[in-house]
C-alpha cells in the first residue's frame, strides 16, 4: 500500500481470515479499516483493541445477505470515510459434508445468499464509486472447492461460482482501473476450523498428510497474500484466483496419479 490515507473495508472482519486481514491492514500506516460484520459486538471489540494500539479501525453491523443492509452500510462508508481503496469480501458461512439426498435446501440457499449473492451485492455497491474515481482493489474469498469437488455441496457450488464472479468482475471493471482478485485458502486453522476438529468433524492428520508443507495454513498467511494483491506490487494482476493452501492442491493431484517414483 502507498503512504496516502487509504480506506479498507473488510466484511466478516470480526473473526478468522477476516480478522487476520483487519489486523494486517491496521498495521499499515495511513490506513483506515472499516469492519462490516453481523457480529457487531465482536467487531467493536476488535476495533477497540486495535485503536488502543494507535490504528484507525471502525466497526459497523453488516448482514451481507440483506440488500437493504448492504446499501445502508455502503452509504455510511462512503459518507463517513469516502471511496474505499480496497474491499475484502471475507464474510461467509462454512458447511459440513452432506450427501445430496440429505442436503437441506434452506441451508443451501443460505450459503448462496451469504457467500455468493452477498459478495456480489457489496462489490457492486462499492465498485461503482471505485470505477468513477478510476482505481480500487477487490478481493474475494474463494476456496480449494473453487477447483476441486467436495461433499460440502452448498459451500462448494458457491465457491466455484465466486471463481467465475471474480473473473467477470475483473473483466468488466478493469477498464475503469479497478482490479479484482481472489484468494483460495486451503485448510486454515481458524477458530471455526479448530471447533470442527475438536468436535470430530475434521481430521487434522488427513489435512496435514495431504499438504505438501505438512501443516495447516495460518490465517495471517492468507491476510499477507490479500495485502500483497492490494499493493502496488500486484498492479498488473487482476482476475487471478491464488491458492494459499500449503500445497494441498498439488499434493492431492500428485498422490492420485497412477505413476509414482519407486
The DSSP code sequence of 182-247 is EEEE-SB--HHHHHHHHTTSS-HHHHHHTSTTSSPBPHHHHHHHHHHHTSGGGTT--S-EEEESTT
Please give the span between the terminal C-alpha atoms of the chain, in angstroms, as a whole number. Answer: 48
Residues 116-143, mean pLDDT to the nearest whole number: 98
Domain residues for the domain of 230 are 6-256
At 171-220, the pLDDT tens digits run 999 999 999 999 999 999 998 889 989 998 889 998 999 999 999 999 99
Q: What percent of the chain has pLDDT over 70?
A: 98
Q: Is residue 43 part of a domain?
A: yes
In a 13 Å sphere around the CA of 211, the CA atoms on its Cβ side amount to 19
**What's the confidence (pLDDT) of residue 4?**
64
Q: Indicate which CATH number applies to the domain containing 74.
A: 3.40.50.720
Q: Among all chains, which residue has been given the C-alpha cell 437441506?
A: 104
Q: Is residue 1 part of a domain?
A: no
* Count of beta carbons in the 10 Å neighbourhood of residue 205: 7
Residues 240-247, mean pLDDT to the nearest whole number: 98
In the sheet that holds 178-185, the strands lie side by side as: 56-61, 31-37, 6-11, 86-89, 136-141, 178-185, 241-244
**What's the confidence (pLDDT) of residue 259?**
80
Q: Give the confidence band of 2 by pLDDT, cuts at 50, 70, 90.
A: very low
Q: Is residue 236 part of a domain?
A: yes
Question: Which residue stretches of the chain are H helix?
Answer: 16-26, 40-52, 67-81, 105-111, 118-133, 153-173, 191-198, 204-209, 219-229, 248-256
**Of 34, 218, 43, 200, which Cα lies nearest the Cα of 126?**
34
Q: Which residues are marked as active site?
A: 155
Q: Is residue 262 part of a domain?
A: no
Q: Is residue 242 part of a domain?
A: yes
Residues 144-168, mean pLDDT to the nearest whole number: 96
Residues 104-130, mean pLDDT to the nearest whole number: 98
Q: Among all chains, which residue has been given the C-alpha cell 478493469?
A: 174
Q: Is residue 177 part of a domain?
A: yes
Q: Is residue 181 part of a domain?
A: yes
Residues 82-93, mean pLDDT to the nearest whole number: 97
Q: Is residue 261 part of a domain?
A: no
pLDDT score of 60 more than 60: yes
At 174-184, the pLDDT tens digits run 999 999 999 99
At 5-38, the pLDDT tens digits run 899 999 999 999 999 999 999 999 999 999 999 9
**Of 77, 87, 114, which Cα lies nearest the Cα of 179?**
87
Q: How many domains does the chain have?
A: 1
Amino acid at each position: 500500500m502507498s503512504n496516502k490515507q487509504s480506506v479498507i473495508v473488510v466484511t466478516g472482519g470480526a473473526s478468522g481470515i477476516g480478522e487476520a486481514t483487519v489486523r494486517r491492514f491496521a498495521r499499515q500506516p495511513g490506513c483506515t479499516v472499516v469492519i462490516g460484520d453481523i457480529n457487531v459486538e465482536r467487531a467493536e471489540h476488535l476495533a477497540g483493541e486495535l485503536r488502543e494500539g494507535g490504528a484507525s479501525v471502525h466497526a459497523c453491523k453488516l448482514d451481507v445477505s440483506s440488500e437493504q443492509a448492504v446499501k445502508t452500510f455502503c452509504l455510511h462508508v462512503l459518507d463517513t470515510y469516502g471511496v474505499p481503496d480496497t474491499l475484502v469480501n471475507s464474510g461467509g458461512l462454512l458447511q459440513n459434508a452432506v450427501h445430496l439426498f440429505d442436503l437441506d435446501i434452506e441451508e443451501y440457499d443460505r450459503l448462496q445468499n451469504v457467500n455468493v449473492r452477498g459478495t456480489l451485492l457489496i462489490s457492486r455497491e462499492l465498485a461503482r464509486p471505485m470505477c468513477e474515481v478510476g482505481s480500487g482493489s477487490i478481493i474475494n474469498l474463494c476456496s480449494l472447492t473453487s477447483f476441486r469437488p467436495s461433499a460440502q455441496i452448498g459451500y462448494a457450488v458457491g465457491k466455484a461460482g465466486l471463481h467465475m464472479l471474480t473473473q467477470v468482475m475483473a473483466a468488466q471493471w478493469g477498464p475503469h482501473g479497478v482490479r479484482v482478485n481472489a484468494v483460495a485458502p486451503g485448510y486454515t486453522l481458524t477458530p471455526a476450523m479448530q471447533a470442527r476438529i475438536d468436535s470430530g468433524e475434521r481430521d487434522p492428520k488427513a489435512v496435514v498428510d495431504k499438504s505438501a508443507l505438512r501443516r495447516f495454513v495460518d490465517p495471517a498467511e492468507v491476510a499477507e497474500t490479500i495485502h500483497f494483491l492490494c499493493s502496488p506490487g500486484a498492479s498488473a494482476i487482476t482476475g487471478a484466483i491464488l491458492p494459499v493452501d500449503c500445497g494441498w492442491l498439488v499434493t492431492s493431484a500428485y498422490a492420485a496419479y497412477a505413476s509414482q517414483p519407486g
